[in-house]
Structures are given as structure tokens and as C-alpha cells.
Amino acid sequence: MVITTFLVNFIISLKQFLYMSLEFALQSLKRGEFVLLFDSAGRENEIDMVVAAEFVTPEHVARMRQHAGGLLCIAIDHNFATSLELRYMHEILSDSPISNKEMIMGLAPYGDHPTFSLSVNHYQTYTGITDTDRALTIKEMANIFNVENKQKKFASSFKTPGHVPLLIASKGLLAARQGHTEMSVYLAQVAGLTPVTAICEMMDAETYSALSVDKAEKFAKQNGIPLIDGKELLEYAKVN
């Protein structure tokens, strides 16, 4: 009886901790601030800087470039991608007449299909790569979500190839794939925001590899940025 009571109290405390930790992250996203997101040690084992695309400014892009340094991408909800008539790049290439089909990536070393689609620039950008240009591309991508004829607006507003890759979240989100693409879109949905995020992997200039969790935790504390463990997010998703 004592053990049962202890376990119940422990589970309740754990749930309360998860909710508090996640709520901190959700509030940050709602304010247009960053969240750090760790997928898992058994997957990419990487931490991404994440921000809701609807709030992105050139300052956000500059900070991701300086403090993350990986590939800055736009992650979008699967249904939104479908409304834009977007497809995964590996599907596009598989249906193309290129002869070197063996070049097309199947499963990545960590076991998932890549979520890359087209790379785009907003038509009002110049080179497309500056902080100002990429911020415009990212924010305008989020703005299309609330447009009635999404596909027409998308086709008239963006050019490809561009400097910002689009990532399509898997249908079913975390139930289908547990990558940064799905996790960041899920966070935006739970926060009640447009399900479009800007994400960028955090790199380590000292080791020339992905930033370790320990270093990411230190960075998070120094900068007041919440760090979400993918396992915690999956537990929350199961409960909700």
C-alpha cells in the first residue's frame, strides 16, 4: 500500500514537472522567443533552436546563425504542405527522369526518411541569404497559413530554388516520426500558434560536431531559454 501510494505521488509529481517545463516553453514561443529542443540520444542526438515562424525577425535569424550555426529551415504542418501541393524532395526526385536514382536518400542513418521539400525565397528578397531576406521568407511562409487560397498565394509569392529549405512534418506528427520537424510543429500547435516554425541545429565550433546536451543546458541557463527534452514532449503528447 505504501509503495503504491509512493508511485502514485511520484507519477503526479512527474506530470506536474512536465507540465511546468512545457508551459515555460510554450509561453516563450507565444512571446516570439526561442526554445531549445533535444530529440533524443538514440536519434540525431542534436539540439535545435526553435522559434514560431510568425514572429521571426532579422534578429532571430542572426541569433540562429551565430549561436546555432546549422541549417536554418522552415518546418510546416503536413496538412498545410498538402494544401500548398508540396511533396517531399525524395518523392519528387524519384518521379524525375534523373538516371542516378541511387543518389536519392532513403532512410537516414538514424532510421527516418528526410523531411526536406523545396527550398524557397520570397519574391521580394534580393540574394535570399541575408538575415533580412531569410526573415522575410520565413515570416511570409507562416502568413500564408491564414490565406484562403493558400496554393495560389504560395505560387505567386515564392521562388525555388531558394535559400530556406522547407521541411514537411509527417502526417500524424509525433505518432509517426519523432524528429525536430514534428516536435517543433507540435509545440506550435499546442501553443495555439500557426504550425510553422523556424529551426536550426546547434553546432560546436570546438569539437566540429553537434553541440552536446551539457553545453546546450549551460547556454540555455545563461540566456534564459527553456530546453525541452524530446522524451518529455512525447510523454506529454501521450497524456494529451
CB burial of residue 24 (10 Å; 0-12, 13-18, 19+): middle
Q: Of 141, 138, 137, 142, which is closest to residue 193 (Cα–Cα)?
A: 142
The one catalytic residue in 110, 149, 204, 223 is: 110
What is the Cα–Cα distance from 22 to 40, expressed in whole angstroms? 16
Residue tagged active-site, from 48, 54, 229, 232: 48
Catalytic pick among 54, 77, 88, 121 = 121
Whether residue 216 contacts residue 202, with contact meaning beta carbons closer than 8 Å, is answered with yes
- Selecting among 33, 112, 163, 235, the annotated active-site residue is 163
> 229 catalytic, yes or no?
no
Q: Judge whether 45 counts as a catalytic residue.
A: no
Please classify residue 148 by burial: count the beta carbons closer than 10 Å to its beta carbon, then call 0-12 exposed, 13-18 middle and 19+ buried: exposed
Does the active-site annotation cover 110?
A: yes
Q: 3-state class of 125 per DSSP?
A: coil
Euclidean distance between CA atoms 213 and 152, whole angstroms: 42
**9 among known catalytic residues:** no
Clarify whether 88 is annotated catalytic.
Answer: no
Give helix then strand counts, H and E, for the chain. Answer: 9, 9
163 has catalytic annotation: yes
* Candidate list 46, 60, 73, 182, residue with the active-site label: 73
Pairing of β 196-201 and β 203-204: unpaired
Q: Which of 201, 229, 232, 236 is catalytic?
A: 201
Active site positions, annotated: 48, 73, 110, 121, 163, 201
